[in-house]
């Protein structure tokens, strides 16, 4: 397998700077497992709203880091800590594997995020059977 055909990606993901520089979230950059149009307003609202949003987030994985790459990596690790709702094994030597999680947000919204990968050292490191 050539390096050009290897990949490891999460979809959807939106990476953005934290309005409060990590004061409430713990990260200067945030990686939301969401499309940009549905990223919640809470973490970007006033101090009281932002603080409350992070306090109520619970186990929903939102990546946090000092750089966009670190926020993305943190999101990957947070997803890996959760058992996926669905696992799709590669169908042949030319396709990759995929895991899907169903996320339940404090607002009651449910979203789906997937991680697809192909390559010998790529993909989640936990829950591999």
Question: Residue 2: inside a domain, yes or no?
Answer: no
Question: Residue 126: inside a domain, yes or no?
Answer: no
> Looking at residue 74, what is its pLDDT?
97
Cβ(35)–Cβ(12) below 8 Å: yes
Question: Residue 109: inside a domain, yes or no?
Answer: yes
Q: Which CA distances in Å does 30 have to 3, 64, 89, 119, 121?
A: 28, 5, 29, 26, 25
Cα radius of gyration rounded to whole Å, the chain = 16
Residue listed under structure tokens 């004061």 = 23
Average pLDDT, integer, range 54-68: 96
Question: Residue 1: inside a domain, yes or no?
Answer: no
Question: Residue 124: inside a domain, yes or no?
Answer: no
> Looking at residue 125, what is its pLDDT?
65
Tell whether omega for the bond before 12 is within 30 degrees of 0, i.e. cis.
yes
With a CB cutoff of 8 Å and minimum separation 6, the contacts of 48 are: none
Cα three-residue angle 38-75-61, rounded to 5 degrees:
60
State the residue range of the domain holding 98: 9-118
Top pLDDT among 82 and 128 is at: 82
Question: Residue 29: inside a domain, yes or no?
Answer: yes
Question: Residue 19: inside a domain, yes or no?
Answer: yes
User: How many domains would you assign to the chain?
Assistant: 1
What are the structure tokens assigned to 115, written together?
């991680």
Where does the pLDDT of residue 106 fall: very low under 50, low under 70, confident under 90, or very high at 90 and above?
A: very high
Where does the pLDDT of residue 129 fall: very low under 50, low under 70, confident under 90, or very high at 90 and above?
A: very low
Question: Residue 81: inside a domain, yes or no?
Answer: yes
């Amino acid at each position: 397998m050539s390096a050009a055909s290897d990949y490891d990606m999460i979809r959807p993901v939106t990476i953005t700077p934290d309005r409060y520089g990590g004061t409430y979230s713990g990260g200067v950059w945030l990686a939301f497992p969401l499309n940009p149009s549905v990223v919640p307003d809470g973490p970007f609202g006033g101090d009281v709203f932002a603080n409350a949003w992070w306090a109520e987030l619970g186990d929903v994985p939102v990546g946090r880091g000092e750089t966009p790459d670190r926020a993305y990596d943190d999101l990957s690790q947070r997803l890996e800590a959760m058992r996926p709702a669905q696992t799709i094994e590669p169908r042949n030597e030319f396709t990759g594997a995929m895991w899907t999680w169903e996320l339940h947000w404090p607002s009651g919204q449910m979203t789906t995020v997937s991680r697809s990968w192909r390559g010998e050292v790529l993909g989640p490191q936990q829950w591999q059977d």
